[in-house]
């Protein structure tokens, strides 16, 4: 019997022949944390060791509340900077870099076959580059800092075969929303999700990122695309390291196999207050909203910003809405600037924020008032996530958010093609 991707990576890392369900103790290649490093530091101090075990494995990116919005957040950032200095951590990225998951990939830490853990649930994103990457909590993050080890349960794997060609105006976001809507927010709890098939290979790295990022919203431990030529090309400009892809064997055992023909998928919307409450745009068309959000780690790359700009070019957003744009990183921001994409968005009336998590998690920048409704490209629509618990969040693609912003009401982006 062959092995799945996850069984292979965790077998190699543990030095044992392991299968789904086994528990392994492994040393991750990298460990990511963000503003929550302040809390991790507190935990680490309780562990009883002076120095972190492997400083070169620790990656810290400040992104959640940047620049600091209050004295408390400023104090947390300050403690993190001091810790970075004290422990001699070289992989520290301050507030001017962007959202941790995007920055992590840009900096060449995410390589095929690597094992990466991060104290953020969307650590699953690096599966877009063929990485086994999973979110963990901060106690275990502190423990990994101290011991260089973590226990993991080898996950079963759900294989999702993608075929067919996406219709114009439909994107990776619609695909993953459709999959989550059909299967439920807990369908992949504790499990791995493999995206494979001819249509999977057609996806850009940016689009793969969207699917792996949101695999977390099915409860997945990790989500991934097998590394291929597209990954190799993407990484060639970032790192000189030799790429060694890991793929599931043909005869590996899968928990289940799902199939999707992308040509049959139209624009989708996740309605409040769970990500699996998904409907075709046509069913909610005409719904007025107050705030649009284009960007975040889910949809804040050049590909996404361009998709929005192509619709907003020469148009103005409705006076009844405000639209916030958050690029995923400084690099993506710069690319969009140089291509004139940002100019188009600003001319249309959008407000551009610095790359960071900002409004997505409701800590600052664009917090919603009671009774307000947001239409967002982010990954979560939990009650109260963006501010008041009496506000609502609808999730959609950049094209859908941009098109809807023009009339101030939810609409099918294909009417602007």
Query: Is the Cβ of residue 168 or residue 190 nearer to other proteins in the bound state?
Result: 190
Count of residues interacting with other proteins (CB under 8 A):
50
Q: Which residues within the stretch 302-341 sit at the binding site for other proteins (CB under 8 A)?
A: none
**Is residue 101 a contact point for other proteins (CB under 8 A)?**
no
**Is residue 110 a contact point for other proteins (CB under 8 A)?**
no
The minimum distance between CB 256 and other proteins, in angstroms, equals: 17
CA 90: distance to chain centroid? 24
Omega within 30 of 0 (cis) for the link into 273: yes
Spell out the residues 6+ positions from residue 96 whose beta carbon is closer than 8 angstroms to its own: 330, 354
Is the separation of the CB atoms in 405 and 323 below 8 Å? yes
**The binder of other proteins chosen from 67, 108, 137, 280 (CB under 8 A):** 137
CB atoms within 10 A of CB 192: 30
Omega within 30 of 0 (cis) for the link into 142: no
Query: Is the Cβ of residue 35 or residue 174 nearer to other proteins in the bound state?
Result: 35
The minimum distance between CB 265 and other proteins, in angstroms, equals: 24
Cα–Cα distances in angstroms (integers) from residue 409 to residues 139, 283, 406, in the given order: 44, 13, 8
**Is residue 121 a contact point for other proteins (CB under 8 A)?**
yes
Instruction: Provide the sign of the torsion angle of the four alpha carbons 126, 127, 129, 132, taken in this order.
Output: positive
Residue span binding other proteins (CB under 8 A) among the ranges 195-203, 219-227, 318-326, 397-405: 219-227
Name the strand (E) or helix (H) holding 392.
strand 392-395
Residue span binding other proteins (CB under 8 A) among the ranges 93-101, 184-192, 323-331, 409-417: 184-192
Query: Is the Cβ of residue 273 or residue 414 nearer to other proteins in the bound state?
Result: 273
Q: What is the DSSP letter of 317?
A: -
**The binder of other proteins chosen from 5, 30, 73, 394 (CB under 8 A):** 73
Query: Is the Cβ of residue 30 or residue 203 nearer to other proteins in the bound state?
Result: 30
Query: Is the Cβ of residue 136 or residue 345 nearer to other proteins in the bound state?
Result: 136
Omega within 30 of 0 (cis) for the link into 370: no
**Is residue 274 a contact point for other proteins (CB under 8 A)?**
yes
Strand partners, 135: 118
The minimum distance between CB 188 and other proteins, in angstroms, equals: 8
DSSP secondary structure string for all residues of 5-59 = HHHHHHHHHHTS---TT-EEEE--SEEEE-TTHHHHHHHHHHHT-SS-S-GGGEE
Q: Give the 3-state secondary structure of residue 111.
A: coil
Q: Name the residue among 28, 76, 84, 85 with its Cα closest to residue 60.
A: 84
**The binder of other proteins chosen from 4, 11, 102, 119 (CB under 8 A):** 119
Spell out the residues 6+ positions from residue 17 whose beta carbon is closer than 8 angstroms to its own: 11
For 349: left if phi > 0, alpha if psi spans -120 to 50, otherwise beta; the answer is: left
**Is residue 135 a contact point for other proteins (CB under 8 A)?**
yes
**Is residue 86 a contact point for other proteins (CB under 8 A)?**
no
Q: Which residues within the stretch 25-64 sit at the binding site for other proteins (CB under 8 A)?
A: 25, 36, 38-39, 42-43, 46-48, 64
CA atoms within 13 A on the CB side of 158: 22
Q: Which residues within the stretch 334-393 sit at the binding site for other proteins (CB under 8 A)?
A: 361-363, 380, 382-385, 389
**Is residue 256 a contact point for other proteins (CB under 8 A)?**
no
Binding region for other proteins (CB under 8 A): 23, 25, 36, 38-39, 42-43, 46-48, 64-65, 70, 72-73, 76, 119-121, 123, 135-140, 142-143, 146-147, 149, 151, 153, 185-186, 189-190, 219-221, 274, 361-363, 380, 382-385, 389
């Amino acid at each position: 019997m062959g092995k799945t991707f996850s069984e292979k990576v965790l077998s190699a890392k543990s030095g044992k022949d392991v299968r789904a369900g086994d528990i392994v103790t492994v040393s991750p290649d990298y460990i990511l944390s963000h503003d929550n490093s302040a809390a991790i530091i507190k935990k680490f101090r309780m562990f009883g060791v002076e120095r972190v075990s492997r400083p070169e494995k620790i990656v810290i990116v400040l992104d959640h509340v940047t620049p600091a919005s209050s004295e408390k957040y400023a104090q947390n950032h300050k403690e993190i900077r001091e810790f970075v200095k004290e422990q001699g951590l070289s992989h520290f990225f301050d507030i001017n870099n962007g959202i941790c998951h995007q920055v992590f990939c840009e900096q060449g830490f995410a390589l095929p076959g690597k094992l990466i853990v991060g104290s953020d649930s969307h650590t699953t994103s690096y599966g877009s580059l063929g990485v086994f990457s999973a979110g963990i909590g901060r106690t275990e993050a502190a423990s990994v800092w101290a011991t260089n080890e973590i226990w993991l349960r080898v996950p079963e794997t759900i294989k999702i075969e993608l075929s067919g060609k996406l219709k114009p105006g439909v994107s990776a976001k619609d695909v993953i929303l459709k999959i989550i809507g059909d299967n439920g927010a807990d369908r992949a709890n504790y499990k791995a999700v493999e995206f494979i098939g001819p249509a999977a290979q057609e996806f850009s790295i940016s689009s793969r990122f969207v699917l792996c990022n949101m695999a977390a919203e099915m409860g997945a431990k990790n989500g991934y695309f097998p590394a291929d030529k597209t990954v190799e090309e993407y990484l060639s400009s970032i790192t000189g390291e030799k790429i060694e892809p890991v793929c599931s064997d043909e005869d590996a055992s899968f928990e289940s196999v799902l199939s999707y023909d992308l040509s049959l998928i139209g624009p989708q919307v996740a309605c409040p207050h769970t990500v699996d409450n998904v409907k075709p745009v046509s069913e909610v068309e005409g719904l007025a909203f107050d705030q649009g959000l284009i960007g975040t780690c889910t949809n804040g790359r050049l590909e996404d910003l361009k998709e929005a700009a192509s619709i907003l070019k020469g148009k103005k957003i409705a006076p009844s809405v405000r639209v916030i744009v958050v690029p995923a990183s400084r690099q993506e921001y710069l690319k969009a600037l140089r291509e004139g994409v940002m100019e188009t968005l600003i001319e249309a009336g959008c407000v551009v924020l610095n790359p960071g998590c900002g409004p997505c998690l409701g800590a600052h920048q664009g917090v919603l008032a009671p009774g307000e409704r947001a239409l967002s490209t982010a990954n979560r629509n939990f009650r109260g996530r963006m501010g008041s618990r009496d506000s609502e969040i609808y999730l959609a693609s950049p094209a859908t958010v941009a098109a809807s912003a023009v009339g101030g009401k939810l609409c099918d982006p294909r009417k602007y093609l």
